[in-house]
Amino acid sequence: MDASGFLVPRNEGRTITACTLTSAKWLHTAPEDKVLLRCYIGRSGEQEWLGWSDEQLVQKARHDLGELLGLHAEPLFTEITRMPKSMPQYPVHHLEKLKLLRMQMTEQLPGVYLAGAGLLGVGIPDCIKQGQDAGEQVAQHVKEQILQAVTVV
């Protein structure tokens, strides 16, 4: 499997919204002659899967994998993790609101900085970058506080 996975757009009318070829992305996650797949179900406005049983979820995912990848093998095992509302959805004007929030925080909560998926990107690299930026801002704030204290003394 020469890929790390694929996304399924809404207009495809499928149940799965994405599939990670986990053992192609991270080789250590399966023996050489086996394949580990991770399918995602549910997207903004499509939350009916919350009421489905584990068996239904597996059956729906296997149906899509059969049609999309021609994969009909019986899985050796399946594992389901239910994570409702786990993917931030940015509304229109999100960036303007974030800018305003940050300005208010500078005035009302100096020294407190924000980072995370709900702000500027859900990918892990986005979150790491935001964490690093926030860390630098904290360091700068502390430096300014120390300089201020020294100046007063």
Ligand X SMILES: Cc1cc2nc3c(=O)[nH]c(=O)nc-3n(C[C@H](O)[C@H](O)[C@H](O)COP(=O)(O)OP(=O)(O)OC[C@H]3O[C@@H](n4cnc5c(N)ncnc54)[C@H](O)[C@@H]3O)c2cc1C
Residues in touch with ligand X (CB under 6 A): 20, 83, 86-87, 116-117, 122-124, 127
Phi/psi for 38 (5° steps) reads: -125, 120
When the beta carbons of 36 and 127 are compared against ligand X, the nearer one is 127
Q: How far is the CB of 20 from ligand X (least distance, A)?
A: 6
Helix, strand, or coil (residue 18): strand
Q: Rounded to the nearest 5°, which phi and psi values hold at 20?
A: -100, 130
36 versus 122: smaller Cβ distance to ligand X: 122
Q: How far is the CB of 150 from ligand X (least distance, A)?
A: 34
Strand (E) or helix (H) holding 137 = helix 124-152
* Least distance (Å) between residue 55 CB and ligand X: 20
Question: What is d(CA 119, CA 53) in angstroms, rounded to the nearest whole number?
Answer: 33
For the CB of residue 143, give the shortest distance to ligand X in the complex, in Å.
25
